[in-house]
Structure 1
Amino acid sequence: MDLYNDNERFISILSDYGFKVTFGNESDTRFLRRSLQALIQSPVAITKVEFIESEILGLTKDSRSGVYDIACVDERGNQFIVEMQLSKYPDFIQRMKFYSFYRLNTLIRKGKYRFEGLPKIYCIGILAVNIFPHIADYHNVAVLKNEKGELIDDQTTFITVELAKFKKRLANVQTDLDKLIYTMKTIHKATKPKQYPQFWNEEWLEAAIKELDTRAMTPEKRMAYEMTLSANALAVENENKKIHEAEQRKETAVKAEAVKKALNRGKLTIEEIAEDNGVSSDFVLKIQRGLT
């Protein structure tokens, strides 16, 4: 998925920069508030959000830490954690549970370990790939229920959106949720006004799209964008380097095991073993010394 392209007018919301200037825009929260309302499927408008600490600090020396993509609270005290995941992450739900339970634990400790009157926690995961192959719906809301499907507790709610499952045509996009997902999947592909759906003129979406428009960038925003591109390029380079090094270590381990077996059989010379396995004689000798 190419999230940065110099030939595109609009930056993808799924990119680091795009997510930050739309969902994470602290100076203008219109898009975030309407998006959260759509994602949790609430009929009640969110009129105010305040960004809160997004870093999880380990409670003990050996505790895990972490950072949410976004953490905020609305005017009723409802807590929101929003995570974006572009690549495959088999344990994504476990990560969401870790984040939400940490938040719950923090709220309980602040309340002197009292459980009544706790605000709701919404842990929202937006995923570019599918993590629920057995579920057809692209938007799922999970709360604690019994085997009959009867509600036990909804104080903590897990919400996932699998963008790859969203297949609706523009003519069928009606709800705010569908408008949000459609925009997230297509904004960076739009180049001509005739491609813009009418609902992109709605205030909350228009505010976000303005932040993604490369033609409307101030010099300061252009600099921030270029710095994000540079940081991402370096991160990708480092990640590729780690992958290459891991592959080399694996290949070396396989060759070492093959050399050990050949040495133990004792039927070939050092040079023959080296040639058969594509390694140097010194490599074989080093393995041999380890065996003796």
Structure 2
Amino acid sequence: MLKTDTANDIVSNTEDELTRFIDPYTDFGFKHIFGKAPNRDFLIKFLNGVFRGRKVIVDIQYKNTEYKGPGRDYRKTIFDLYCTGDKGENFIIEMQKAKVKNFKDRSIFYTANLIQEQGVGVVADWDYLLPEIYFLAIMNFKFDNSHPDHFIHDVRLMEVETGEQFYPKLGYIFIEMPKFKKSEGQLENELDEWLYILNNLKKLDDIPLSLRGKQEYERVFEIAEVGNLTPEEMNEYQQSLKIQRDNASALSYAIEEAREEANKAEGWAEGKAEGKAEGKEEGKAEGKEEGKYENAVETARQMLTDNEPIEKISKYTKLSLEEIGSLI
């Protein structure tokens, strides 16, 4: 059963206000479910669902998530999860809670690190044979300008003209979770079930009926239950929630400040534009009046040359008798 949730929903620090199940979008929550060796069958099943038969993973081994690079001054990289498959494949799995700048570039950088690592400390006659490397991003945000119904992006090196895969050992899979809208009754396969759990775990009061009787899902809900966390795990989860709240608060403040600055700039621009427009209109009016006066004076001079009566000239030009007199 789903509980109501709002855009500003923040879990309190007090235990009695915590949701029954942990938030899998926190750093702790995601790793608690998928990042521990005893739970590696969860990650195996999830990965097999994502690859949809293109790859079948039998086993995985977790590796150090901190990559320091080959040199002392090399930029350190920290993955959310990093593991190898039973056939030597490398999998980088990232849970991305918020939209960040240059996320696609960062994804390429992460895989480039692992590719570059292969050439460090190898024998002179190394033949450049590389392992399979895959980057999987579970994103709690959407790409800009992507199709509203297309939420899984399977990106590979392809030959443009033929559409054939050029290099099969490097791939990127991006899952835009906000686009996954399926309800419990619409779940069609194992991947749907995992995505439904990720999207709704924090909001659930109990394991959904359609997932009961399936051992791996019942274990997921057991592991994810806040009441089953050890004191150390609870402290780690609370810290993870605090970081999430602080980041959300900082982001909200930054957005509000940006709006205020934008409103100020807009008001200044509007005032400037209005002033410019008013000045332009006034100038046009003045110019128009000046033009009329010059025409009237020219007409008066012509009429004076023709010996027309001053009263008649005043009537037709709208000039005063004094103005006409000054022209004689």
TM range (shorter): 0.7 to 0.9
Alignment of 1:212-231 (within 5 A): 212-231=224-243
Deviation for aligned residue 1:82: 0.8
Q: 1:4 to 1:41 in 2, by over 3 A?
A: farther
- Counterpart code for 1:158: Y
Cα distance in structure 1, aligned partners of 2:133 and 2:143: 22
Cα distance in structure 2, aligned partners of 1:4 and 1:115: 53
Residue number among 199, 204, 213 corresponding to 1:190 in the alignment:
204
Deviation for aligned residue 1:41: 2.4
Match of 1:265 in 2: none
| Range with greater deviation from structure 2 (92-101 or 62-71) | 62-71
Residue number among 134, 141, 145 corresponding to 2:146 in the alignment:
134
Q: Is the 8 A contact 2:70 2:120 kept in 1?
A: no
Match of 1:105 in 2: 116
Cα distance in structure 2, aligned partners of 1:127 and 1:39: 14
> Does residue 13 of structure 1 match 2:14?
no
Residue number among 194, 216, 219 corresponding to 1:180 in the alignment:
194
Deviation for aligned residue 1:200: 5.0
Q: 1:192 to 1:207 in 2, by over 3 A?
A: closer
Cα distance in structure 2, aligned partners of 1:166 and 1:86: 15
Match of 1:211 in 2: 223
Match of 1:67 in 2: 78
SS of 2:38's partner is coil
Matched residue count: 253
Q: 1:168 to 1:112 in 2, by over 3 A?
A: farther
SS of 1:140's partner is strand
Q: Is the 8 A contact 2:80 2:94 kept in 1?
A: yes
Deviation for aligned residue 1:3: 6.4
> Does residue 167 of structure 1 match 2:184?
no
- Counterpart code for 1:225: Y
Cα distance in structure 2, aligned partners of 1:107 and 1:198: 45
SS of 1:73's partner is strand
TM-score by length of 2: 0.66
Residue number among 33, 38, 46 corresponding to 1:27 in the alignment:
38
> Does residue 123 of structure 1 match 2:135?
yes
Deviation for aligned residue 1:153: 0.6
> Does residue 158 of structure 1 match 2:169?
no
TM-score by length of 1: 0.73
Percent identity for Structure 1 against Structure 2: 22
Q: 1:239 to 1:111 in 2, by over 3 A?
A: farther
Residues 207-260 of structure 1, C-alpha deviation per residue, up to 9 Å, x if partnerless?
32222101223334323323434455566677789x59x97xx99xx9xxxxxx
Cα distance in structure 2, aligned partners of 1:112 and 1:3: 54
> Does residue 48 of structure 1 match 2:59?
yes
Deviation for aligned residue 1:58: 4.7
Q: 1:140 to 1:230 in 2, by over 3 A?
A: closer
Listed as ranges, the gaps of 5+ residues in structure 2 are 1-6, 266-328
Cα distance in structure 1, aligned partners of 2:28 and 2:169: 32
Match of 1:277 in 2: none
Deviation for aligned residue 1:141: 1.0
Q: 1:240 to 1:162 in 2, by over 3 A?
A: closer
Deviation for aligned residue 1:128: 0.6
Residues 12-34 of structure 1, C-alpha deviation per residue, up to 9 Å, x if partnerless?
21112211101212332121111
Which has the higher Rg, Structure 1 or Structure 2?
2
Cα distance in structure 1, aligned partners of 2:54 and 2:165: 20
SS of 1:27's partner is helix
